[in-house]
Amino acid sequence: MQRRKAVIDTTYLLPFFGIKVQGLEARDVARLREELGADIYYPILLLPELAAKIAKEMMKQGLREVPEPASEALIALLLEVDVGLIQPRIEHIKTAIKLKALGHPDIFDCILYATALHEDAILVTRDRKLVEFLETKGLDTSNLLIR
């Protein structure tokens, strides 16, 4: 029997890179895997968002080089050690564009939702604005898990 998929928002990866997120730790990804009985995935198209958040944190700390632990976490992500990467498909991109055209301000959120939708995956997010937007547009939110 094939396990379910869960697609996580960038926020859930930040603790792997030493970025503090209130109420989240790196081990929460493993907990999600167990609680949901699902394999955990991250859309490859969201890597620029992750890079931007890492850079923002570096700027806050006055760093000019990516710290070694963050480099190691990037390598682990690219090797899909704890989290699998989802390659983009045309339907992911087309749906993300439609969501953006409907007025959602964040293309990365649009990509996240579209990927989970077309992969028949649970979308794990903390982004209540995304959920509110989807609901106001009458879009399916049955696959969303707000944590």
Our count of domains for the chain comes to: 1
Range of the domain at 10: 4-146
Entry pTM: 0.94
What pLDDT does residue 1 have?
Answer: 61
pLDDT (tens digit per residue) in 60-71: 999 999 999 999
What DSSP string runs through 80-115?
TSSSEEEPP-HHHHHHHHHHHHTT-S-HHHHHHHHH
31: pLDDT strictly greater than 90: yes
For the segment 76-89, the average pLDDT, to the nearest whole number, is: 97
Name the pLDDT band for 3 (thresholds 50, 70, 90): confident
CATH code, domain carrying 107: 3.40.50.1010
